[in-house]
Homo-oligomer: A and B are copies of this chain.
């Protein structure tokens, strides 16, 4: 699967390269101490999922324009900003096999570097000809923050229900992925209906993506995933498998799980409790249904290599182990 994805991506490799270059050029400062920090962020750039979706949605709906490179870079900067601030919130030490900024330079530098990234994303976005993209990006970051604040508010809430979890995930993760697809399509010349179809694709895909991330945080292999795992249970952030477990497992298992959440070094014991249950499978099935819904959203798009790539990527989101 991974090899096929890599081959399919060849079609947008030059544009992704351009995004990389613009990302670096935009962040460059006349202050050396700032460049040291931004160079470190560049190291843990990862899947480029959001820029990829901007470009593929643009191609699927029409043709790529210079604005796509700008928008793809903007969404990647927004994403990196949320990662940097997320790591402060999570007190995470490792991200993409490297030390996090907060671990390396302290929380203060991480807070300010996240601000620097978000500021540059808006700066770049406001270089476009009209305000529409900037307005949509800023509305999206409003939602991202709301999702994060709702999640924070529900830390320690062991009665969190699935509906609230989906609200959190929709805002904090899926909204930016949906906006990437929508803006890619719009700037590719799509009409509102086609752009909305791609937005729906991104929204369902984004929720599925976060569910898979949360499954990996719980039962993934740290060496493979490449970042600190078990953060959700350590921070008593309930995710879908745990929410399901706390509602459906035998009563004494529920009680044991409740008592273990937030306890130091309890990840292994929680894993051993949950793995034999059907809660992981439940979350995986939910993610798979969302991927099917995502694919269904773009069924009406004309057939093309790009559409095939989007459909293949959608499957990959729930099949990945990192």
Contact = CB atoms under 8 A, between A and B. Distances in A.
A183 to B, nearest CB: 13
Interface in A101-137: 107-109, 111-116, 118-120, 122-123, 125-131, 134-135, 137
Nearest to A138: B123
Contacts of A111: 85, 88-89, 111, 114
B134 A112 contact: no
A160 interface: no
Contact of A126 (B108, B114, B126, B127): B126
A145 B115 contact: yes
A29 interface: yes
Contacts of A137: 122
A216 interface: no
- Which of A34, A118, A119 has the most chain B CB within a 10 Å cutoff? A119
A118 B115 contact: yes
B107 A85 contact: no
Interface in A33-85: 33-34, 37, 85
A116 B144 CA distance: 9
A29 to B, nearest CB: 6
B153 A141 contact: no
A12 interface: no
A150 interface: yes
A180 to B, nearest CB: 17
Contacts of A128: 131
A77 B31 CA distance: 26
A292 interface: no
A120 B153 CA distance: 20
Nearest to A130: B131
Given A34-B146, A119-B145, A107 B107 contact: yes
Contact of A122 (B31, B107, B134, B144): B134
A93 interface: no
A148 interface: yes
B153 A33 contact: yes
A85 B115 contact: yes
A265 interface: no
Given A126-B131, A131-B134, A109 B142 contact: no
Closest 10 CB pairs of A and B: A123-B138, A33-B153, A116-B145, A126-B134, A119-B141, A122-B138, A126-B135, A89-B108, A122-B122, A112-B148
